Chains A and B, each alone.
Chain A
């Protein structure tokens, strides 16, 4: 079975498609993402880690702020005092309440789990309350009975303090590690952000340089390198830009320029072209633009409202070149450089450039066939 044919252009297109997603991840976006990640890291630190520190170190004023064992022990000690003094039944009932409260604070799962004296101590409290209610045991004996639960509670307090200390140490270790990770990560992300930013800046500078180069090349492509005036492309572009303007187009051809070159050499011919370009530019109004169409052919484009104005420009041009008196030793009819001039007058929106050029060229041809060194204007057909 034949494989489906894949053309080289298809494969080029697909490879371009494969590359395209990368363009969206620019250095700038990577840099911004890095700085954003840094911000998120800082917010995380402030928003979540700090409350955790508070939870560990700020335990005062809440239910578990003071150890339950401590509070239970204090109630048992109060009960002991009441039992030892025992002046009346009020004291007995107060002692019962104290023991009940101590029981409630003592009977906590975490104490049962970690301190084996808890259950036994709670049983003692239970028996003490029963004895107090039945008034069957002397209060002094009961006060002594409470010593074991008090000892147990003291053990629990010490043990819990140790456990809390261990927890705080562990937390401190974790916090230190966390901070180290945070600092290194923060610095790394920051450096990455700077690196991406630098790459972005470099990319930007390269793009700017490429644009400048392109513009320079585009500009160069529109100019004649010898005379530094516009070329045919520039002329067409300028006509396109002035669609609504009434324009005059003048085409100039140097008479017997080949003979001039043959006699004096091409460098002299080039010099003549440059000097003539200046003379033509001076002869025409300031708003006129001069172009070299190739060889010895020049063109000028200028705003022109009527035939008379264009006629005046042509006369002026011929007159100024005559005044310049550029010598032309091989000229068959003259001893100086002369020009053949064809012109037309048009509005680009109504008659396009090709028609205008054709009309001006026709006028030039008529001048040449009539013996040169003259000018003629032909209206656009």
Chain B
């Protein structure tokens, strides 16, 4: 009954249809935009970084064979140590990562300049389906076997938040 009334209203007032469409979009937008932010946690301080902003700061371009995609792709990003210094004022000894798919891990050794925070791939911004919005890769992975994905366990995807952990 209520549904039938609503349909009649929408047919009578076209502007109401536009308003409803805008409302639906407004509801969807947070989800889309949510995956476009990166949360940084340093003790009690929490702040969100716009991924689009990170893309603008991504000045390093390089070609890399991505073992998960099985092909060489052009990546765009920034040295991860530089990013940490800019955001945390230091390279914390360990970092706790939380990914959009719920994966959590705490790892250290991020002062190595080999690590890059990637924001775009082949000119396209990273999305959830391309394991974005940001992803960590190693520019030089030496002689590791690219067919053994377990060798690339540290390449953290879909990063949602990064927390500085000074003491484990």
Footprint of B on A, CB under 8 Å?
A: 55, 59, 61-65, 71, 75, 89-90, 92-94, 96-97, 100-101, 103-105, 107-110, 112-113, 133, 135
Q: Using an 8 Å CB-CB cutoff, how does the interface string of B122-159 with A read, 1 for contact, 0 for none? A: 00000111110000000000000001011011111110
Complex-state Cα separation, A8 to B32, whole angstroms: 97
Q: Is B68 in contact with chain A by the CB < 8 A criterion?
A: yes
Complex-state Cα separation, A97 to B152, whole angstroms: 25
Our pick among A59, A100, A101, A109 for the contact of B70 (Cβ within 8 Å) is: A109
Interface size on B, residues (CB 8 A): 31
Closest to B26 in A: A89
Contact B127 A100 (CB under 8 A): yes
Q: Is B10 in contact with chain A by the CB < 8 A criterion?
A: no
Q: Which residues of B lie under 8 Å from residue A96 when comparing CB positions? A: 28, 31
Our pick among B27, B100, B147 for the contact of A101 (Cβ within 8 Å) is: B100
Q: Is B168 in contact with chain A by the CB < 8 A criterion?
A: no
21 A-B pairs (CB sep. < 8 Å)? A55-B150, A62-B153, A63-B154, A63-B155, A63-B156, A75-B101, A93-B31, A96-B28, A100-B128, A101-B101, A104-B101, A104-B128, A104-B129, A104-B131, A104-B158, A107-B69, A108-B69, A109-B67, A110-B147, A112-B70, A135-B24
Closest to B69 in A: A109
Our pick among B24, B32, B69 for the contact of A89 (Cβ within 8 Å) is: B24
Our pick among A63, A92, A108, A109 for the contact of B103 (Cβ within 8 Å) is: A63
Given A62-B153, A109-B68, the answer on whether A97 and B129 have CB atoms closer than 8 Å is: no
Complex-state Cα separation, A369 to B139, whole angstroms: 111
Q: Using an 8 Å CB-CB cutoff, how does the interface string of B79-104 with A read, 1 for contact, 0 for none? A: 00000000000000000000011010
Q: How far is the CB of A376 from chain B (nearest CB, A)?
A: 98
Q: Is B64 in contact with chain A by the CB < 8 A criterion?
A: no
Q: Which residues of A lie under 8 Å from residue B130 when comparing CB positions? A: 104, 107
Q: Which residues of A lie under 8 Å from residue B35 when comparing CB positions? A: 97, 100
Complex-state Cα separation, A89 to B149, whole angstroms: 37
Contact A89 B27 (CB under 8 A): yes
Q: Which residues of B lie under 8 Å from residue A89 when comparing CB positions? A: 24, 27-28
- Give the 3 A-B residue pairs with the shortest CB-CB distance, closest first: A109-B70, A100-B128, A103-B129
Question: Which residue, A104, A108, A109, has most C-beta atoms of chain B within 10 A?
Answer: A104
* Interface residue SS majority, chain A: helix
Contact A59 B150 (CB under 8 A): yes
Q: Which residues of A lie under 8 Å from residue B103 when comparing CB positions? A: 63
Complex-state Cα separation, A133 to B152, whole angstroms: 34
Q: Which residues of B lie under 8 Å from residue A63 when comparing CB positions? A: 103, 105, 152-157
Closest to A90 in B: B27
Q: Is B71 in contact with chain A by the CB < 8 A criterion?
A: yes
Contact A93 B28 (CB under 8 A): yes
Contact A107 B129 (CB under 8 A): yes
Contact A64 B149 (CB under 8 A): yes
Closest to A132 in B: B28
Our pick among B27, B31, B149 for the contact of A97 (Cβ within 8 Å) is: B31
Complex-state Cα separation, A59 to B151, whole angstroms: 11
Q: Which residues of A lie under 8 Å from residue B149 when comparing CB positions? A: 64, 108, 110
Complex-state Cα separation, A287 to B103, whole angstroms: 97
Q: How far is the CB of B139 from chain A (nearest CB, A)?
A: 18
Q: Which residues of A lie under 8 Å from residue B131 when comparing CB positions? A: 104
Question: Which residue, A63, A90, A110, A133, has most C-beta atoms of chain B within 10 A?
Answer: A63
Complex-state Cα separation, A61 to B69, whole angstroms: 22
Complex-state Cα separation, A135 to B20, whole angstroms: 13
Contact A64 B153 (CB under 8 A): yes
Q: Which residues of A lie under 8 Å from residue B67 when comparing CB positions? A: 109
Closest to A109 in B: B70
Closest to B146 in A: A109
Q: How far is the CB of B3 from chain A (nearest CB, A)?
A: 13
Q: How far is the CB of A212 from chain B (nearest CB, A)?
A: 60
Q: Which residues of A lie under 8 Å from residue B71 when comparing CB positions? A: 109
Q: Which residues of B lie under 8 Å from residue A133 when comparing CB positions? A: 28
Contact B129 A113 (CB under 8 A): no
Complex-state Cα separation, A90 to B26, whole angstroms: 11
Q: Which of B23-62 contact A (CB under 8 A)?
A: 24, 27-28, 30-32, 35
Q: Which of B8-24 contact A (CB under 8 A)?
A: 24
Q: Which residues of B lie under 8 Å from residue A100 when comparing CB positions? A: 35, 127-129
Closest to B70 in A: A109
Q: How far is the CB of B4 from chain A (nearest CB, A)?
A: 18
Complex-state Cα separation, A75 to B105, whole angstroms: 20
Contact A103 B128 (CB under 8 A): yes
